[in-house]
């Protein structure tokens, strides 16, 4: 994989040049106050932005936030991000009220060397996500007009064939930012020759979301530990009743086949925390995985499972974790995720947290991020990388 990186661009000199940076600033916002509840993705792009600022570039940052329907929507505005980004950079960030309109043009034209501007949400424009090449290309033309060079530091979006990720690099000299380069280097270790034993922990809601990565990983891993909502479809495939737990009936036979083909690699929960309802104050107990009451649903893995998973992880030399073990947002059902995460930090293994909810859980539970080898910013992107898929954003940087 041959990709030019930020240091190559800096070596050519960027002082006075406009550099368009695609960042992933898709941060969670409090629905009531609009405040940012987790600024991890903003902090992740700081090394790239700071290097460009110090080198005297005129930095134009673009990103998406949420899933607006191709038109402006105040609840998905990047304005709060501009404020937080300015605080972290230690200097005000100019904010454009639109993405490629009059406000954006004025904002970019007014930049001095070493200043930063943030454009409004890319997805307020239909061209960003359009499947029509011409429509997407037209929007890419408008974006590219704001830069003399392009840096992609949005790993969380590289699996999308979107204008700002796929089409803009074809229109400007392009490089990978520090974050994207680090992500590719780390994940390449997992797809190459990882040090063994190699243990993968998968959680999250649905087997269907993780099926492709399970298929890809089974031949290469030594153990595959499965928790989260997806474990109940596997438990059903083993012949256990799962009460009212999350269940993909159409995936039961697929899970049965995976268990048969795994050669004993797949490890499932032996106990779960079962509750009367999906609620933080619901009555709940720990029950055997083969004894979930018919009126209850599993919302977390139990302590015996945590101990078993921890024992498997303690032997590992390489670990990949993607997906929480339970509904960690509710304190009563966070112990499984916390226990597995803490077990990972106690090993000597090279550990990778696969972005998304897993990364959010690390921060929400107050765990030390530095205890993990790498915390990815892209849940979907990291999974597709491990599946061996061609990621449009990476392919665009290689061209």
Neighbours of 36 (CB within 10 A): 18
How far, in Å, are 26, 85, 240, 282, 285 from residue 293 at the CA level? 39, 49, 11, 15, 10
- What are the structure tokens assigned to 140, written together? 């890419």
Biggest distance spanned by C-alpha atoms of the chain: 67
Q: How far apart are CA 160 and CA 128, in angstroms?
A: 10
Active-site pick, 41, 94, 123, 210: 41
Q: Which residue among 105, 171, 189, 206 is the active-site one?
A: 206
- Examine the residue annotation and report whether 326 is marked as an active-site residue of this protein: no
- Does the annotation count 206 as an active-site position? yes
In sequence order, what are the beta bridge partners of 383? none
- The verdict on whether 366 is a catalytic residue reads no
Radius of gyration of the chain (CA): 22
Torsion from C-alpha of 120, 156, 23, 395, nearest 10 degrees: -110
Catalytic residue among 356, 378, 379, 393: 356
Catalytic residues, which ones? 41, 206, 356, 380
């Amino acid at each position: 994989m041959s990709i030019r990186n930020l240091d190559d661009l800096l070596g050519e000199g960027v002082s006075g040049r406009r550099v368009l940076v695609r960042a992933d600033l898709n941060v969670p916002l409090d629905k009531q106050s609009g405040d940012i509840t987790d600024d991890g993705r903003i902090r992740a792009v700081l090394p790239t932005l700071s290097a460009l600022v110090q080198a005297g570039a005129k930095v134009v940052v673009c990103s998406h936030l949420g899933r607006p329907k191709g038109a402006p929507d105040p609840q998905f505005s990047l304005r709060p991000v501009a404020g937080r980004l300015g605080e972290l950079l230690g200097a005000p960030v100019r904010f454009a009220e639109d993405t490629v309109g009059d406000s954006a043009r004025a904002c970019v034209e007014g930049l001095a060397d070493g200043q930063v501007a943030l454009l409004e949400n890319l997805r307020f424009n239909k061209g960003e996500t359009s499947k029509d090449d011409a429509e997407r290309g037209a929007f890419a033309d408008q974006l590219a007009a704001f830069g003399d060079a392009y840096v992609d530091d949005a790993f969380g979006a590289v699996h999308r064939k979107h204008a700002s990720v796929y089409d803009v690099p074809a229109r400007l000299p392009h490089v990978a930012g520090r974050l994207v380069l680090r992500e590719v280097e780390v994940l390449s270790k997992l797809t190459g020759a990882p040090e063994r034993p190699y243990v993968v922990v998968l959680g999250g809601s649905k087997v269907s979301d993780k099926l492709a990565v399970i298929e890809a990983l089974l031949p290469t891993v030594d153990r595959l530990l499965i928790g989260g909502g997806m474990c109940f479809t596997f438990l059903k495939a083993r012949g256990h009743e799962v009460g009212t737990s999350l269940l993909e009936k159409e995936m039961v036979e697929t899970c049965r086949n995976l268990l048969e083909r795994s050669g004993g690699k797949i490890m499932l929960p032996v106990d779960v925390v079962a509750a009367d309802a999906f609620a933080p104050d619901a009555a709940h107990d720990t029950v055997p995985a083969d004894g979930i009451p018919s009126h209850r649903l599993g919302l977390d893995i139990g302590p015996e499972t945590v101990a078993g998973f921890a024992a498997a992880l303690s032997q590992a030399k390489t670990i990949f974790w993607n997906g929480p073990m339970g509904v960690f947002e509710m304190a009563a059902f966070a112990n499984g995720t916390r226990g597995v995460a803490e077990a990972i930090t106690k090993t000597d293994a090279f550990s990778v947290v696969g972005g998304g909810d897993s990364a959010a859980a690390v921060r929400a539970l107050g765990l030390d991020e530095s205890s993990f080898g790498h915390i990815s910013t892209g849940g979907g992107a990291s999974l597709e990388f491990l599946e061996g898929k061609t990621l449009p954003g990476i392919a665009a940087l290689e061209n």
